[in-house]
């Protein structure tokens, strides 16, 4: 950069990486990468910049959404032009620095780190219900009043239909409607979280491949199945590191006791309808939300959730027999209160995960986003970011928070993120 621009904010890709090239593997280890470095080509010559390098910690809803949006933003000419205009106000398209960092040489690397692989954490064991509802019969007058208020104030594009008992039972035969009221959301989704996350991972791979139209426009996307002990472990290799580890974010030494997250373990019980049972759950019938939720995956499989065990430090997705028994004893009465037919289904297993619950605020319980460098309090040429506190609403929030964070990371501008998502840092201070 010429001396006349020496006081401009530094480019986020101005940090030189370690001299190594990453082999093109969908899932690999940094040990393999390091051993390959000795035979790698020499660094790029002067005038040809190195790739932008981003690390995303976590391959759940938040992490894969951030990765997808990073690839999308950085594959766009307009996004790069916007970034350059923001960070280098006085540059013209004829200036040498503009030409050096133009999309004609837009190599990007996005690496995702998750020791458990895609959907190996709480995201992968979730129920897959996209709130606020599918079919919800309230069991208390208070809940009924809230649902009626929501139905009257809902967005036109996401309407809620108020049904009486007869209409609700047409959708779900055998449904119990204690207050002759149920709220139905036709456009709500019930997805298989594991399959969805695997599809999102494939979408990232496809986007990177399609955007790599020439050697100078390579977009690399990789998954590393390994544990990251601390953030400084990656700071020398990457321009930005985005922490999307859910409850495990607090296990990083740089973030211990610095995030206002509340851990809550949830157990989900799985049931199947015996093969000899003639009466199946309707293929067009919606899932059910009540004091417990019932997420149906086809006519013979249902997941019932979820328990709430606050302050738990049990991160295992496996469930002991004792924990499973306790969970089913809690969940089955709640499920039976609205769907008595669940008594015909057989218990087949349980899974669990830790929710990272955000603090309660005047705006509700919102995810925690923003730059972490001030929170960490250590000087670094790498920018650290957080996407956390999605709680039990990872499926609901992941698209929005991934998009906002990707734009903020690429531009180096936290103000792109609404203050409601970053005010936790002010409260913490």
**What residues does 103 pair with on adjacent strands?**
none
Q: Which residues contact 31 (CB under 8 A, 6 or more apart)?
A: none
Q: Rounded to a whole number, what is the largest CA-CA distance in the chain?
A: 80
Q: What is the pLDDT of residue 211?
A: 85
Q: What is the pLDDT of residue 159?
A: 81
Q: What is the pLDDT of residue 109?
A: 93
Q: How many CB atoms lie within 10 A of CB 307?
A: 19
Identify which of 261, 228, 227 has the alpha carbon closest to the alpha carbon of residue 384. Answer: 228
Q: What is the pLDDT of residue 134?
A: 84
SS3 295: strand
Strand order of the β-sheet with 27-28 is: 27-28, 219-224, 108-113, 52-57, 240-243, 383-388, 368-371
Radius of gyration of the CA atoms of the chain, in A = 24
Cα–Cα distance measured from residue 172 to residue 183, given in angstroms and rounded to the nearest whole number: 13
The interaxial angle of helices 61-74 and 77-87, nearest 10 deg, is 90
Q: What is the pLDDT of residue 321?
A: 96
In angstroms, the Cα distances linking 217 to 60, 107, 212, 214 are 27, 5, 5, 5
Cα–Cα distance measured from residue 367 to residue 422, given in angstroms and rounded to the nearest whole number: 9
Backbone CA torsion sign across 60, 66, 69, 74: negative
CB neighbour class for 348 (10 Å; exposed up to 12, middle 13-18, buried from 19): exposed
In order, the DSSP letters of 199-261 are HHHHHHHHHHHHH--SGGG-EEEEEE-S----THHHHTT-SEEEE--GGGGGGSTTTTTTS--
Question: Which token pair is 204?
Answer: 């990232």
In this predicted model, what pLDDT tens digit does every residue of 201-254 receive, in sequence order? 999 999 999 888 777 678 899 999 999 999 999 988 999 999 999 999 999 999
Cα–Cα distance measured from residue 388 to residue 250, given in angstroms and rounded to the nearest whole number: 10
Question: Which token pair is 114?
Answer: 């998750």
Q: What is the pLDDT of residue 88?
A: 52
Q: What is the pLDDT of residue 384?
A: 96
- Residue appearing with tokens 């100078």: 216
Cα–Cα distance measured from residue 106 to residue 49, given in angstroms and rounded to the nearest whole number: 9
Q: What is the pLDDT along the chain (429 residues), one digit of tens a residue?
A: 333 333 333 333 333 333 333 333 345 544 333 322 222 333 444 455 678 899 999 999 999 999 999 999 888 744 455 455 545 544 444 444 443 444 444 788 999 999 999 988 888 778 776 654 488 999 999 999 998 998 888 877 778 899 999 999 999 999 999 999 999 988 777 888 999 999 999 999 999 998 887 776 788 999 999 999 999 999 889 999 999 999 999 999 999 999 999 999 999 999 999 988 878 888 888 999 999 999 998 889 999 999 999 999 999 989 999 999 999 999 999 999 999 999 999 999 999 999 999 998 888 899 999 999 999 987 788 999 999 999 988 988 999 999 999 999 999 999 999 999 999 998 655
Cα–Cα distance measured from residue 288 to residue 168, given in angstroms and rounded to the nearest whole number: 11
- Residue appearing with tokens 């995303």: 56
Contact call for residues 309 and 264 (beta carbons, < 8 A): yes
Q: What is the pLDDT of residue 155?
A: 76
In this predicted model, what pLDDT tens digit does every residue of 283-327 receive, in sequence order? 888 999 999 999 998 889 999 999 999 999 999 989 999 999 999
Cα–Cα distance measured from residue 141 to residue 31, given in angstroms and rounded to the nearest whole number: 59
């Amino acid at each position: 950069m010429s001396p006349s621009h020496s006081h401009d904010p530094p480019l986020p890709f101005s940090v030189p990486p370690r001299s190594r090239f990453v082999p093109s593997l969908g899932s690999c280890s940094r040990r393999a990468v390091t051993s390959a470095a000795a035979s790698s080509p020499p660094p790029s010559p002067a005038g040809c910049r190195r790739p932008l390098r981003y690390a995303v910690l976590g391959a759940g809803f938040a992490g894969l959404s951030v990765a997808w949006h990073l690839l999308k933003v950085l594959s766009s000419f307009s996004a790069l032009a916007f970034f350059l205009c923001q960070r280098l106000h006085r540059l013209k398209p004829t200036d040498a620095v503009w030409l050096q960092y133009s999309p004609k040489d837009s190599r990007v690397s996005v690496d995702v780190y998750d020791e458990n692989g895609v959907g190996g954490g709480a995201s992968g064991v979730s129920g897959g219900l996209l709130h606020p509802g599918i079919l919800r019969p309230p069991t208390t007058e208070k809940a009924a009043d809230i649902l009626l208020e929501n139905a009257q104030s809902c967005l036109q594009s996401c309407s809620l239909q108020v049904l009486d008992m007869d209409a609700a039972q047409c959708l779900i035969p055998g449904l119990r409607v204690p207050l002759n009221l149920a709220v139905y959301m036709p456009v709500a989704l019930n997805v298989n979280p594991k399959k969805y996350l695997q599809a999102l991972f494939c979408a990232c791979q496809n986007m990177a491949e399609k955007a790599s139209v020439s050697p100078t426009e390579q977009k690399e996307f990789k998954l590393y199945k390994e544990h990251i002990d601390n953030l400084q472990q990656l700071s020398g290799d990457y321009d930005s590191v985005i922490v999307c580890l859910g409850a495990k974010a607090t296990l990083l030494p740089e973030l211990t006791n610095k995030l206002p997250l509340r851990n809550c373990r949830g157990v989900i019980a799985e049931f199947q309808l015996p093969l000899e049972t003639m009466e199946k759950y309707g293929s067009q019938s919606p899932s059910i939300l009540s004091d417990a939720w019932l997420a149906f995956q086809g006519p013979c499989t249902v997941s019932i959730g979820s328990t709430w065990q606050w302050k738990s430090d049990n991160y295992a997705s496996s469930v002991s027999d004792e924990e499973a028994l306790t969970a089913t004893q809690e969940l089955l009465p709640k499920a039976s209160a609205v769907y008595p037919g669940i008594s015909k289904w057989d218990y087949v297993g349980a899974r669990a995960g830790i929710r990272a619950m955000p603090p309660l605020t005047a705006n509700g319980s919102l995810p925690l986003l923003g730059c972490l460098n001030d929170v960490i309090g250590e000087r670094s040429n790498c920018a650290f970011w957080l996407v956390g506190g999605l709680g039990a609403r990872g499926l609901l929030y992941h698209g929005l928070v991934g998009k906002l964070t990707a734009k903020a990371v690429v531009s180096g501008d936290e103000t792109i993120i609404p203050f409601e998502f970053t005010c936790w840092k002010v409260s913490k201070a």
